[in-house]
Amino acid sequence: MREYRLYRWLARSLQSLAYICVSLATFWAYDYICSFHEEWNFLCRSRWTEVKVLYIIARYVPFLLIITDLYLNFSPNKNPKKCKILIGIYLSCGVISLACSECFFVLRTYAFWNSNRIVLVAMLSTLFATIVTFINIGLRAIVASHVTTSVVPGITGCHRSSPSVEFSMPFLLFFFFQLGLVTLTLIRVFQTWRTSSGGTMHAILVKHNIFYYACGLFLSVLNVLAPVMYPDPAYYGLLGESQVYILAILATRMHLHLWHIGQPAVYDSESVALVSISMSDMPSADRAATTV
């Protein structure tokens, strides 16, 4: 009886994981279709810079992540070693996507601080250390985890089980990094609010895109608390993958919005604003963003 209950729980968990995978893939495809015209306009009309390359990586690496995830969950595979290789590829795509997405928030914060090189070096150094530690923990978790193929009839794919602490630690690092970005942004918000004439705090917060920062921070908090809130590992995958996809959407949407409101009427190769700040009380921020 006990084995039967365990068997049913395993089948339900694996099936939920497959549903989650399909739901996230559908969500990403829907977002891409909705923003295709705007994105195509940006890709065709903007000049080639490092920021544009960063945008392409942040936007399209999640497609590789989705393909790998779908293959892991639905392709029949009875070789655990092959499963570990695929999971390693999946982890690599996720880390690349997270790193590129965070770079947009780093550039945005750098622009808020008027091209302060010390702030830029501090943020990039912290991001690099966070990514390296993330990869180290992730690879160690893959090596130490128990990778199996599904033994439930009708349910295929590779599945990995690892301690909840190993799941939470990488997202805890991102939480502290994002908390630092939010703190730096709020400092500039407060400084702008004190020096502005008649500007409301809400309007300044919106202009500083604090919503995008707050969403990333909130997702990291959820992933840190996931093992406590949900005992089922399937939900870990839901929250972890959601952070990768949503952060990529937030970063690229923010960039598209700033590019559209900052582009000049007549395109000049020296003045196209790719990460325009569009704030009258911070004129030097536009120059900071376009030179990065």
Amino acid sitting at position 77: N
Give CA–CA dist 72/85, Å, rounded. 10
Contact (CB, 8 A) for 183 and 273: no
User: Which residue in the block uniquely carries the two structure tokens 């009875």?
Assistant: 78
Check residue 11 and give its pLDDT: 55
Count Cβ atoms within 10 A of the Cβ of residue 175 and give its class: 0-12 exposed, 13-18 middle, 19 or more buried: buried
Q: Tell me the percentage of the chain whose pLDDT exceeds 70.
A: 67
Q: What is the pLDDT of residue 104?
A: 92
Is 103 a residue whose pLDDT tops 70?
Answer: yes
**Cβ pair 66, 24 in contact under 8 A:** yes
The answer to which of 25-34, 59-68, 108-117, 256-265 has the lowest mean pLDDT is 256-265
Instruction: Note the pLDDT tens digit of each residue in 170-200.
Output: 788 888 999 999 999 999 888 888 887 766 7
The answer to whether the CB of 139 falls within 8 A of the CB of 88 is yes
Give residue 286's pLDDT band: very low, low, confident or very high (50, 70, 90). very low
Of 93-97, 99-103, 160-164, highest mean pLDDT: 99-103
Q: pLDDT digit string (tens) for 150-175? A: 544 555 556 555 555 566 777 888 88
Q: What angle do CA 121, 126, 131 make, to 5 degrees?
A: 125
Q: How far apart are CA 170 and CA 177, in angstroms?
A: 11
Read off the pLDDT of each residue in 94-112 and give the average, rounded to a whole number.
Answer: 90
pLDDT digits over 37-78, tens only? Answer: 888 888 888 888 888 999 999 999 988 888 887 777 776 666
Q: 234 CB contacts (<8 Å, ≥6 apart)?
A: 13, 14, 16, 17, 20
Question: DSSP states of the chain as a string?
Answer: -HHHHHHHHHHHHHHHHHHHHHHHHHHHHHHHHHTHHHHHHHHHHSPP-HHHHHHHHHHHHHHHHHHHHHHHHHS----HHHHHHHHHHHHHHHHHHHHHHHHHHHHHHHHHTTS-HHHHHHHHHHHHHHHHHHHHHHHHHHHHSEEEE--STT--SEEEE--HHHHHHHHHHHHHHHHHHHHHHHHHHHHHHHHSSS--HHHHHHHTTHHHHHHHHHHHHHHHHHHHH--SHHHHHHHHHHHHHHHHHHHHHHHHHHHHHH--SS--TTT--SS----TT-HHHHHHHHH-
* Contact in structure between 173 and 131 (CB atoms under 8 Å): no
Backbone angles phi, psi at 149, to 5 degrees: -95, 155
The CA-based angle 144-147-150, given to 5 degrees, is 165
The residue that leads in pLDDT, 59 or 268, is 59
Calculate what percentage of the chain has a pLDDT beyond 90.
Answer: 13
Strand 146-149, strand 158-161: pairing? antiparallel
Q: How confident is the model at residue 270 (pLDDT cuts 50, 70, 90)?
A: very low
